[in-house]
Structure 1
């Protein structure tokens, strides 16, 4: 069974690394994987979108609109911006979003700031399977703001919508994260999973 995960956020949040951990985890399970990223503004704090498609016969790395099983958003406005990719209907996809707003550089330059509560309210009105995660609190417990991507991966794995479980992501962290950063990332992964299980959609 094929799975599509779209990750979105702002440059510097670790979106691309998170997508790679998902891809590697899927390949270890014998799945065929295709990925694609839009990272032109990543280093300048611009929007970043990563497509991860896993399964058997996958001909394009890009997720078609309305076909994402999981939308993993590192901040609320990017979740709203990419909501058209979410699967709808009887098997509606899952949205997991970090509650803290991070303005992309385009908004900062144009004085176009926003309040995350407005975006979250919109998501609550338009998404059936929504999980809001306090990524900032998890990162404080884990010991570094750079663990946000792994915390959200933990939540995604716990949602059962990703096609991977916590152990799959743990194995990839052990393989691909430098030894001095493994413990904090494993902690963030566990905390992210616990936050998902303790939240309501």
Structure 2
């Protein structure tokens, strides 16, 4: 059975790195995996998405509307923007974190204050936490992407695989400890 995952967020949040670690881990553990990146305006804080599909045999990385088993939103408004891709009964993992787009910063638009509530009203399975706070308590706010990855891994039921070795293979040695802690902490939150 093929699983379809959609990572959504804002440029600079480490979405592509988290997707790459997940993809490499799933391949290492015997799954056929396809990944597609859409950078958008990543360098300017624009929307970034990555689609990952895995299973016994996968032919395409592309996910249509209503097909994602899990959406991992690194920023809560991005969750609302991409929610139409989540299948009925799918899981939404949301970072309760705000990154204001340029239009909000210059006063053209207002950042909505009820995003999480609306998501919970429309999605049955929602996991919400502030990954930035979790990562900061661990010692490095930049590890929030790996905290979210840990929550996704738990939601997928693949937490028993050796993710520690995958972290070590994909990150510089000086980043091993914080990211191993982050992935384990994320697994506790889902």
Asked whether the two chains share a fold, i.e. TM above 0.5, the reply is yes
Structure 1 residue 191 corresponds to structure 2 residue 185 = yes
Report how many residues are paired. Answer: 190
CA distance in 1 between counterparts of 2:134 and 2:162 reads 20
Q: Quick one: which of 130, 145, 153 aligns to 1:134?
A: 130
Change beyond 3 A, Cα 1:133–1:184:
same
Q: TM-score, normalised by structure 2?
A: 0.93
More deviation, 15-24/186-195: 186-195
Query: Residue 63 of structure 1: SS of its match in structure 2?
Result: coil
Decide whether the 8 Å contact of 2:159 with 2:187 is kept in 1: no
Structure 1 residue 45 corresponds to structure 2 residue 34 = no
More deviation, 104-113/17-26: 104-113
Matches within 5 A, 1:83-94: 83-88=83-88, 92-94=89-91
Change beyond 3 A, Cα 1:36–1:105:
farther
Q: Quick one: which of 167, 172, 175 aligns to 1:173?
A: 167
Change beyond 3 A, Cα 1:127–1:143:
same
Q: Please give the per-residue CA displacement for 1:68-92, whole angstroms capped at 9, x wherever unaligned.
A: 111000011100111011111xxx1
- Determine the structure 2 residue equivalent to 1:62: 62
CA distance in 1 between counterparts of 2:125 and 2:142 reads 26
Cα RMSD over matched residues?
1.6
Decide whether the 8 Å contact of 2:29 with 2:161 is kept in 1: no
Q: Quick one: which of 147, 154, 161 aligns to 1:158?
A: 154
Decide whether the 8 Å contact of 2:133 with 2:141 is kept in 1: no
Q: For structure 2, list consecutive stretches of 5 or more residues without a partner in the other structure.
A: none
Q: For structure 1, list consecutive stretches of 5 or more residues without a partner in the other structure.
A: 197-201
Decide whether the 8 Å contact of 2:147 with 2:186 is kept in 1: yes
Using the TM superposition, give the Cα deviation of residue 29 of structure 1 relative to its aligned residue in structure 2, in angstroms.
Answer: 1.6
Q: TM-score, normalised by structure 1?
A: 0.88
CA distance in 1 between counterparts of 2:108 and 2:135 reads 28
Deviation >6 Å, runs of 4+: none
Using the TM superposition, give the Cα deviation of residue 170 of structure 1 relative to its aligned residue in structure 2, in angstroms.
Answer: 2.2
Q: Please give the per-residue CA displacement for 1:26-45, whole angstroms capped at 9, x wherever unaligned.
A: 11121111111110301110
Higher strand share: 2
